[in-house]
Amino acid sequence: MSGKQNSAVGEQQPPSSGKRKKTPKPETRLAMVRRARRINRELAEVYPYAHPELDFENAFQLLIATVLSAQTTDLRVNQTTPALFAKYPTPEDLAAAQPEEVEELIRPTGFFRAKTKSIMGLSAAVRDNFGGEVPGRLEDLVTLPGVGRKTAFVVLGNAFGVPGITVDTHFMRLARRWKWTDQDDPVKIEAEIATIFPKSEWTMLSHRVIFHGRRVCHSRRPACGACPITHLCPAYGEGETDPEKARKLLKYEMGGRPGQRLKPPPDYPGEPAPAMGAIE
């Protein structure tokens, strides 16, 4: 036998302390629910003025504005709808309009031909099937052309006071970042979030999460260093962590700029958004 010992056997190992580094335990369901509800409470303190960011005066206007908001900003919709609602104030008026005239009015919102078909079609359905009044039930709203669950919950929560969870792109992104869900389908996300929060919180929860997604927790460059809930966020560090650099990423009133509404609520801390044609 050779005098050389096998390295795997004879090589001396450093003394062990007898203690192994502990692997963090996976978060329990109960711990996640408690953390999620604390996030909601703290966001309520950050955004006590959270609100729907579409200008509207009644359920019909909110329904039309929400359909128009697809693939564009709420600001662009708010700049566009005053002329539309001035010319077509009721479902009956819009249903009987000339499509070319409607297209021209909503052109700034993009996809104006498809949107014209939707808003004229839903106006006709409201006129013919619901006596000219926007229905206040989910099962009725989703029968209207261009109206899905997200749009329906916006209308139900903000025009009728019926609780609902609005799963838009911001809500989906933050719910996944905060480990409330790992689902990709909006309906499945809605169902999971509904089990975490009491029904009475659903509408305002949606506003707070969407507010935070638009102002701080952006898709590409989250402002982690300026975020007020980093102590509760398992995704901290995905974005800019330097406080000064992060503050420059803040949007709307938190960054000292106007929000999305031309007619914001009285408690909104920022300036009204500019009308169409004004300097933005």
Q: 32 in helix, strand or coil?
A: helix
- Does the pLDDT at position 3 exceed 70? no
pLDDT for 20: 62
Is the distance from CB of 153 to CB of 165 less than 8 angstroms?
yes
pLDDT, tens digit (0-9, with 9 covering 90-100), for 135-145: 999 999 999 99
Per annotation, catalytic residue among 55, 74, 115, 150: 150
Each as own residue / partner, the long-range contacts of residues 38-45 (CB below 8 Å, 24 or more positions apart, any chain) are 38/232, 39/178, 39/229, 39/232, 40/197, 40/201, 40/205, 40/208, 42/228, 42/229, 42/232, 43/208, 43/209, 43/211, 43/212, 43/229, 44/204, 44/208
pLDDT, tens digit (0-9, with 9 covering 90-100), for 255-271: 999 999 999 999 999 99
pLDDT, tens digit (0-9, with 9 covering 90-100), for 218-276: 999 999 999 999 999 999 999 999 999 999 999 999 999 999 999 999 999 999 999 98
- Does the pLDDT at position 190 exceed 80? yes
Active site residue 93: no
- Does the pLDDT at position 1 exceed 50? no
Instruction: Quickly list DSSP for 130-182.
Output: STTS---SHHHHTTSTT--HHHHHHHHHHHS--------HHHHHHHHHTTS--
Each as own residue / partner, the long-range contacts of residues 197-200 (CB below 8 Å, 24 or more positions apart, any chain) are 197/36, 197/37, 197/40, 199/163, 200/163
Diameter of the chain measured on Cα atoms:
101
Q: Which two tokens stand for residue 115?
A: 């949107």
Task: Identify the CA nearest to 103 among candidates 148, 146, 94.
Answer: 94
Distance CA 217, CA 141 (A): 31
- Does the pLDDT at position 156 exceed 70? yes
Residue type (1 letter), 223: A
Task: Identify the CA nearest to 211 among candidates 280, 130, 147, 265.
Answer: 265
Of 8-12, 78-82, 175-179, the one with minimum mean pLDDT is 8-12
Predicted confidence band of residue 4 (pLDDT cuts 50, 70, 90)? very low
pLDDT for 146: 92
pLDDT for 278: 72
pLDDT for 11: 45
What mean pLDDT is predicted for residues 166-184?
Answer: 97
pLDDT for 19: 59
Predicted confidence band of residue 277 (pLDDT cuts 50, 70, 90)? confident
Distance CA 153, CA 203 (A): 8
Residue type (1 letter), 128: D
Is the distance from CB of 186 to CB of 149 less than 8 angstroms?
yes
Active site residue 184: no
Q: Which two tokens stand for residue 90?
A: 């009721």
- Does the pLDDT at position 2 exceed 70? no
Per annotation, catalytic residue among 168, 179, 182, 263: 168
Is the distance from CB of 273 to CB of 258 less than 8 angstroms?
yes
Distance CA 191, CA 117 (A): 30
| DSSP classification of residue 4 | S
- Does the pLDDT at position 6 exceed 80? no
What percentage of the chain exceeds 70 in pLDDT?
A: 91
Task: Identify the CA nearest to 210 among candidates 8, 93, 96, 47.
Answer: 47
